[in-house]
Copies of this chain bind each other. A is one copy, B any other.
Amino acid sequence: MARTKRAGRRSGNPDTKAEILAAARRLFAEEGFESISMRRIASEAGVDPSLIHHYFGSKDDLFLAAIELPLDPAPEVATVLKAGGVEGAGGRLMHAFVSIWDGPHQDKLLAVVRTSLSKPAMSFVLRQLFEHRIVKTVQDVLGEEVDRVPVRASFIASQVFGLVVARYILKLEPLASLSADQLAETIGPTIDRYLTMPVDQFER
């Protein structure tokens, strides 16, 4: 029902929607996803909280809209990990990641990354996306097979973000021209190592 209702009035008032998004972006950047309520964003934007639910759905959905991410990475990660567990997960993740980046969303994804890397407040927002959605998803799916998921996830992120920089921003060759299969074959084992190497020595 919510869906029908939203679809029916989806266009809404563009100024109101823009104000909500601006308020959400500002508050997420200043105080973080966890500590900001929908009520607080509504108050900041000067609208009724129900209007935010009406336009954007959940707080997760509002977050993705605020950072202008064209797709939610969490279900993609969950699907890939569930399709075989830890064994070969690195290659599967790399293949899926490159396939998405090579697809129609590339320009929008690049815009999010460029903004997140150049503005400190947006770096904080990207970190929250990573910690609250990606790490949590990996924990949910692999938590019984893999210990200390947050430690391992931060190493994996260093390789995956680096691939984005090297392939899509700096366009280093031959990395920029390799296929998803070739990158799964070469970088997949790095991710597998980060999923399985001993990490007990790292205190939090």
Chain A residues with CB under 8 Å of chain B are: 113-118, 123, 126-127, 130-131, 150-151, 154-155, 157-163, 165-167, 169-175, 178, 182, 186-187, 189-190, 193-194, 197, 199, 201-202, 204
Across the interface, do B166 and A163 meet the contact criterion of CB distance under 8 Å? no
Across the interface, do B162 and A165 meet the contact criterion of CB distance under 8 Å? yes
Complex Cα–Cα for A171 and B161 (A): 13
The winner among A116, A154, A169, A178 for most chain B CB atoms within 10 A is A154
Complex Cα–Cα for A186 and B156 (A): 11
Across the interface, do A174 and B204 meet the contact criterion of CB distance under 8 Å? yes
Protomer copies: 2
**Which chain B positions have C-beta within 8 A of A174?**
150-151, 154, 202, 204
Complex Cα–Cα for A157 and B172 (A): 9
Across the interface, do A123 and B169 meet the contact criterion of CB distance under 8 Å? yes
**Which chain B positions have C-beta within 8 A of A189?**
193
Across the interface, do B169 and A154 meet the contact criterion of CB distance under 8 Å? no
Within 8 Å by CB of A202, from B182, B193, B197, B199, lies: B182
